[in-house]
Each structure stands twice: as C-alpha cells, then as structure tokens.
Structure 1
Amino acid sequence: MGDYRTTKPEEIWKKIRDGEITEPTAGMCGGYAQANLVILPKKYAEDFKKFAERNPKPCPILEIMDGSPLVHDMGEGANIVTDIPRYFIYKNGVKVDEVTDASEYWQDDFVGFLIGCSFSFEEALLQAGIDVRHISMGRNVPMYKTNIECEKAGVFEGPLVCSMRPMTPENAKKAAEITEKFPNVHGGPVHMGDPEKIGIKDIDHPDYGDPVEIREGEIPVFWACGVTPQAAIERAKPPIVITHAPGHMFITNVKNAELNDYLEKKKQGTKSL
C-alpha cells in the first residue's frame, strides 16, 4: 500500500479515478472523514433512509444524493461511482460483480447515501498512542456479522455488522472514551471481550476484511460498522444496489474535527426524499 497519510482528498479522488489506487483507504488523508456508500433505486430509498435513521449507530447518514452521482456537502467535485477504490454490485441480494468504476451501473432513478465510517475516528486513537492493528499490519479492518438484530424499516432488516480492533483492556477503556465523542461515525464500542456473546464463532475468520493479530493480554473491541446495510441488502433483495467494497471508502473533504458540528447544523434543515 502507498503512503497517502498526508495526501489531500481531491488528489486521492483523481488517483482513484485514474486507477492508481484500488486498495483499502484506512490511514489515508489524515484528518479527513471517510464514508461508506449505498446506492439503490428511488423506490427503495425512503425505506433505506428510515432504516438508517432507526439504526444510527451503524448507519449515520452524512449526505444523500438524489438522481445524481455528484457529491456536494461531503466533497464538492467528487463522484460516488468513480472516486471510491472498489465497489460491490448486488442484484436481488446477491453480489454479482466487483469493480473499480461503477459508472456503467448508474441509473437516473438512483439515490446515493454516504454513511459515517469508523476510519474517521482512528486518527484520534493513533494520536492517543493506541495501536490500530489493521493499519500497523497494512491490512483491511476485520468485520463480522453479529447476532444483534437491527431495527426493521420497510423491506430492510438484518444483523448489526461490527468492525474489530484488538487492544489492551486499559487502551480499550481509553478508546471507548475517545470514540464516544464521534457519534456521527459510529460512536463508542458496542461490545468488548468475548466474541461469542455477540454471535461471532471464529474471530480469525471475519465475514469481511482481513484477520489481524490479537496479542496476549489484548481483548477484541467491536464498533458498529457501515457494512451493516450490505447485510440488510442481502435480505431485502432489491433488484440492484451499488455499495463500496468493505474497507474501500469515500474520503470526504470534511475534517473529522468539524464533521459533528457540520452535521448537527445540517440536521436543522433536513428534508425528506
């Protein structure tokens, strides 16, 4: 993986568009928030919006793009079907393709959702001296389907998906205090310790992403994850959906430090689709 920690988002969008970057985005563009993606037909958009609003921990909405792939609030000049390193294409709930440019699948009646991502709070963990294992190992973050069910909305229901970062109990406590301050990018952990308590049978075989080393004296710490909509899509089976490939995010040009205040102000003028 290249070192893009100090690269600006606009430069990353261009490198992705040009095919220079196809890898996971963890650690890229230090200071800038990252986002998950869901694109689906307008017929399903209101149900999905309600699903996200009823499950704000895994699905905090950052921006909705109705009828156009162009980003505005989270990155003027960016395009959600060309500026993410890798996409999954689902048809009737089944992943049928994996592409680095989703332009050919875009339809005029599509609605896109950018959803907060835990990569956004990792910078704060690193600054506190907490090792973020998938970054230090150069891997994608491990993600798991759990036995925690999300609240249903219309056709959308499914298990909460969690991302996992191993750390000492002391650092886990510190990480919880840090991430609670990031409610629009999943907030604090949903579980610490025994994975089986949330339905994870084998911590070394994540459902998405890569396994990481858990060292002696460390515990797994789980955060709600923006891959949760993909599990709901598998159950709802819309005719077509475009998502980011897990770990391959849209990098916004909004700073992590400013994201929460920005979104709180934006909520004052929220409109329905």
Structure 2
Amino acid sequence: MSLSSQLTAEQLANISPAELRQAIREGRHKANTSGLCTGFVQCNVAILPADWANEFLQFCQLNPKPCPVVAMSSQPGQIDMPEIAEGFDIRSDVPSYRIFKDGQFTEEVHDIKEYWRDDLVTFLLGCSFSFEEALLADGLEVRNISEAKNVPMYRTNIACKPAGRFSGDMVVSMRPFKAADAIRAIQICSRFPSVHGAPVHFGDPSLIGIKDINTPDYGDAVTIAEDEVPVFWACGVTPQVALEQAKPPFCITHSPGCMVVSDLPNSRLAIL
C-alpha cells in the first residue's frame, strides 16, 4: 500500500508500521500519527548528547507516568533500534522533529540527517496514542480521532521529580468523556502503565494550572459537550519542558503528535 492524501481514514488506520515509516522517510507523510497503524506501539522521542543521557534517564525513571521509557540507544550514535522495528532509522522515520539549542526551540524539520552526531543518545518514550486503541475497542469515542485532529496538550502546574539538571512541570493530553465513560477510560488505561497509564486528573482544568481548555499549548482544541468532563493523561511532551529548563547545548525531540510508530504490538504493554 502506498500512502497518499487520497487514502481514507480506514486505510490509514490499517497501514502497516513499516509502510508508514517508509512513507515518512520519503516525505509523503508529515502529519500527526494519532489513529494510524492500529495495534502498534507509538513512541515519543528525545535525543540528546551522551554526557546528558544518564541524568535524563534518571529523570524518566523518577517520573514514569509522563516519561515511560520503551527503548533507548545501546550506545551513542546508534541510528537503528532493532528491538522496536527492523530497518528503523531515527534520523528519518519521525514525521516531524523539533531542534533545540541551549534550551530554545529553533526549528522544525522532517529529517535530521544533517544534524546527526556520533555522541547522540536516543530515548523512545511511551505515548498515549497506544492506549487510544483500547478505548476505541471498548466502544468509547476518542474525540481527537473522530474529529481528525491532533490531541490537545497542555502545560500544567504538576511538578515532576527533579534529577540532576532536569526538572519541570508535567504536560498532559486531554480527551473528553461523559462521567460514566471517564470512569471506564480510567479502568482501561490502568492496564497500560508503559504508555502513561491511568489519567492524572479529570474535571476542573484550573486545578492543574490550565487557564483555557479551548486553547491548548500543543495540538488542536476539540469539542467538549456540556455533559462531558475533560480527562487528562500524563504526556510525553513533558521531557520537552524539562529540556527547555535544563538547557542542554543541543537536543532533538519529536514534534507534538508526530510519533515513532514501532512494530511492537500494543498488547505487549498491557497488564492483564
């Protein structure tokens, strides 16, 4: 199957991870990956110099809900990660990357080969897109998918545990549900701790420092009906906030919503 703008939502959902990565590598898909490759683990990305890697790993270990490590480079400069996908190349297989210098976001690119260095270490972190499949399978509507939008994400006042030079507040993603469905979503996602697990908050967004639910810091606003409550999950954009504050001289992340799509089945991450 070739990926093009003419493909239906169903075709996009059923395209294989290898086919999607090839299309990304060829520049034929540069958008978010929510709802794509049903059944397979998606990952957030953080790439930084080796002399910052141990502290970042400690930060992830201390904050497993927003930063659950799925895989990391076995050595600096490694571009493949065979444990998550055969033929994977971190330099070209993400739809969109963000470049940071001294903690400042400088540009967004679709390929990082010209930025690659032999001292870079890659971290792949669990992503909420992986548990969306379980919500859909239970008959729950996932609004960002039904409205074909990037999931809304917000900076909060929930402090992460610091590690060395890394600290910062949690970023969350939001999906609205009716109260009974929100309870069911909590039950379902509790089975997936490797991809953020149960929500961290639901209801009044101001209690976690969100001033305007209709103006996300990342992603797109979605419809919230009068009989629905916003439900918030820890989000893998959190490391970007920590990187901004730690100010490493150079680092790379995924653009919010634009994930690594692996060959790992979501079922492998579930706790039965």
TM tier, smaller: over 0.9
Q: Distance in 1 between matches of 2:28 and 2:86?
A: 21
Q: Equivalent residue for 1:165?
A: 175
Q: Residue type matched to 1:76 in 2?
A: E
Q: Distance in 1 between matches of 2:208 and 2:251?
A: 28
The one of 127, 131, 134 aligned to 2:137: 127
Deviation at 1:260, TM superposition (A): 4.6
1:112 equivalent in alignment to 2:122: yes
Deviation at 1:30, TM superposition (A): 0.3
Q: Distance in 1 between matches of 2:158 and 2:235?
A: 12
Q: Equivalent residue for 2:29?
A: 21
Identical pairs, percent: 50
Q: Distance in 2 between matches of 1:64 and 1:185?
A: 15
> In the TM superposition, what are the counterparts of 1:90-109 in structure 2 within 5 Å?
90-109=100-119
The one of 79, 86, 95 aligned to 1:76: 86
Q: Distance in 1 between matches of 2:31 and 2:129?
A: 14
Deviation at 1:76, TM superposition (A): 2.1
Q: Residue type matched to 1:186 in 2?
A: H
Q: Distance in 1 between matches of 2:42 and 2:98?
A: 17
Three-state SS of the structure 1 residue aligned to 2:245 is helix
Q: 1:21-67 CA deviation, whole Å, 9 max, x = no partner?
A: 00100000000010000000001000000000000000000111132
1:51 equivalent in alignment to 2:59: yes
Name segments (4+ residues, structure 1) moved above 3 Å: none
The one of 3, 15, 20 aligned to 1:7: 15
Q: Equivalent residue for 2:214?
A: 204
Measured on the aligned residues, the alpha-carbon RMSD in Å equals: 1.0
Q: Distance in 1 between matches of 2:81 and 2:20?
A: 15
Q: Distance in 1 between matches of 2:169 and 2:41?
A: 25
Three-state SS of the structure 1 residue aligned to 2:65 is coil
Q: Distance in 1 between matches of 2:39 and 2:208?
A: 32
1:175 equivalent in alignment to 2:193: no
Moved more, 2-11 or 166-175: 2-11
Q: Distance in 2 between matches of 1:89 and 1:260?
A: 32
Q: Equivalent residue for 1:224?
A: 234
Q: Distance in 1 between matches of 2:47 and 2:86?
A: 18
Q: Residue type matched to 2:134 in 1?
A: A
Q: Equivalent residue for 1:252?
A: 262
Q: 1:95-144 CA deviation, whole Å, 9 max, x = no partner?
A: 10100111111110000000000000000101111111111111100001
Three-state SS of the structure 1 residue aligned to 2:13 is coil
Three-state SS of the structure 2 residue aligned to 1:145 is strand
Three-state SS of the structure 2 residue aligned to 1:252 is strand
Instruction: Give the unaligned 5+ runs of structure 2.
Output: none
Q: Residue type matched to 1:126 in 2?
A: L
Three-state SS of the structure 2 residue aligned to 1:20 is coil
Q: Residue type matched to 2:29 in 1?
A: I
Q: TM-score under structure 2 normalisation?
A: 0.94
Q: 1:144-185 CA deviation, whole Å, 9 max, x = no partner?
A: 111010000010000011000011011000000000000100
Q: 1:214-265 CA deviation, whole Å, 9 max, x = no partner?
A: 011000000000000000011000011110000000001000001357xxxx
Q: Give aligned pairs, total.
A: 261
Deviation at 1:91, TM superposition (A): 0.4
Q: Residue type matched to 2:163 in 1?
A: A
Q: Equivalent residue for 1:270?
A: none
> In the TM superposition, what are the counterparts of 1:181-196 in structure 2 within 5 Å?
181-196=191-206
Q: Distance in 2 between matches of 1:140 and 1:162?
A: 13
Q: TM-score under structure 1 normalisation?
A: 0.94
Q: Distance in 2 between matches of 1:90 and 1:260?
A: 33
Q: Distance in 1 between matches of 2:150 and 2:203?
A: 21
1:38 equivalent in alignment to 2:46: yes
